[in-house]
């Protein structure tokens, strides 16, 4: 009985901390209680959402789910490496997901509004960043082509010295040769372009990309990353 009271007090404190973090703009708040991971996913998108996607670094079983401000129902089984929850959650609402093993962590998470992503996605791998680049650029080509072109102009300006060396070694202007492809290729082709650039950097981790020789800030900004 005492153990149950202690766990209840811990989870109550976690909820309070989660709501406080939500107000400050932190949308993922992780905790571990015993052998269970207890994460809070806070809707800080600024609007109501209709779903949540989460991917993990290993297979997990979701053992508990609590919503504050709505209801989201998992599609499919509760054991796996990727989950989609559908329903509705108010602005600043929270979903608590508990899973085992506690060592498992999300590698990707994003709120959904209809069929589109909402807010800033959470990701921890180069592969997922490349995927987000491809999907985001393909979407912006239709929604805001001028804004996308301006962001790429800034990207090439920010990295002029670095890319000049690559252009010289390849015998062609990267901007002149790549922009027509970027503005016409499918999302998968753009993802391949990103992976090529990352391969040139010689990095193997997301931190290496973000702290490497190329400044992606102009593209991150226009893509909401």
Give the whole-angstrom CA distance, residue 163 versus residue 156: 8
Q: How confident is the model at residue 207 (pLDDT cuts 50, 70, 90)?
A: confident
**pLDDT over 60 at 206, yes or no:** yes
2 or 93: which carries more pLDDT confidence? 93
Average pLDDT on 37-59 reads 96
pTM: 0.73
Q: Mind listing the pLDDT tens digit for each residue in 57-76?
A: 999 999 999 999 999 999 99
pLDDT value of residue 93: 96
pLDDT value of residue 166: 66
Give the whole-angstrom CA distance, residue 210 versus residue 217: 9
**pLDDT over 70 at 167, yes or no:** no
User: Which residues does 106 contact at the CB level (< 8 Å), separation at least 6?
Assistant: 28, 39, 54, 55, 56, 57, 122, 124
Residue-averaged pLDDT of the chain: 82
Q: Helix (H, G, I), strand (E, B), or coil: what is residue 30?
A: strand
Q: What are the domain boundaries of the chain?
A: 2-124, 127-223
Q: Mind listing the pLDDT tens digit for each residue in 84-141?
A: 999 999 999 999 999 999 999 999 999 999 988 898 899 888 888 888 888 888 888 8
Residue 30: closest CA among 106, 83, 84: 106
Whole-angstrom CA distances from 40 to 8, 31, 96, 171 are: 16, 8, 5, 50
For residue 206, say if its preceding peptide bond is cis, omega within 30 degrees of 0. Answer: no
Classify domain 2-124 at the CATH class level.
Answer: mainly beta
Average pLDDT on 77-83 reads 97
Phi first, then psi, for residue 216 (nearest 5°) are -95, 10
**pLDDT over 70 at 22, yes or no:** no
**pLDDT over 70 at 19, yes or no:** no
Residue 199: closest CA among 152, 131, 130, 135: 130
pLDDT value of residue 105: 95
**pLDDT over 80 at 173, yes or no:** no
45 or 19: which carries more pLDDT confidence? 45
Q: How confident is the model at residue 196 (pLDDT cuts 50, 70, 90)?
A: confident
pLDDT value of residue 83: 97
Whose tokens are 């987000």? That residue is 132
């Amino acid at each position: 009985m005492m153990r149950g009271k202690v766990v209840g007090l811990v989870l109550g404190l976690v909820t309070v901390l989660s709501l406080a973090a939500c107000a400050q703009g932190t949308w993922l708040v992780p905790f571990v209680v015993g052998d269970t991971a207890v994460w809070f996913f806070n809707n800080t998108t600024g609007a109501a959402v209709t779903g949540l996607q989460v991917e993990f670094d290993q297979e997990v079983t979701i053992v508990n789910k609590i919503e504050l401000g709505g209801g989201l129902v998992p599609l499919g089984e509760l054991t796996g490496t990727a989950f989609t929850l559908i329903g509705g959650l108010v602005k600043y609402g929270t979903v608590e997901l508990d899973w085992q093993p506690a060592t498992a962590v999300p590698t990707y998470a994003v709120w959904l509004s209809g069929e589109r992503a909402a807010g800033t996605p959470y990701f921890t791998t180069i592969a997922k960043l490349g995927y987000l680049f491809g999907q985001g650029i393909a979407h912006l080509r239709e929604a805001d082509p001028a804004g996308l072109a301006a962001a790429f102009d800034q990207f090439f300006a920010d990295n002029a010295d670095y890319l000049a060396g690559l252009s010289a070694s390849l015998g062609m202007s990267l901007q002149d040769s790549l922009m027509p492809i970027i503005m016409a290729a499918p999302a998968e082709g753009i993802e391949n372009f990103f992976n090529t650039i990352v391969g040139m950097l010689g990095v193997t981790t997301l931190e290496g990309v973000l702290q490497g020789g190329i400044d992606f800030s102009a593209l991150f900004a226009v893509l909401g990353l």
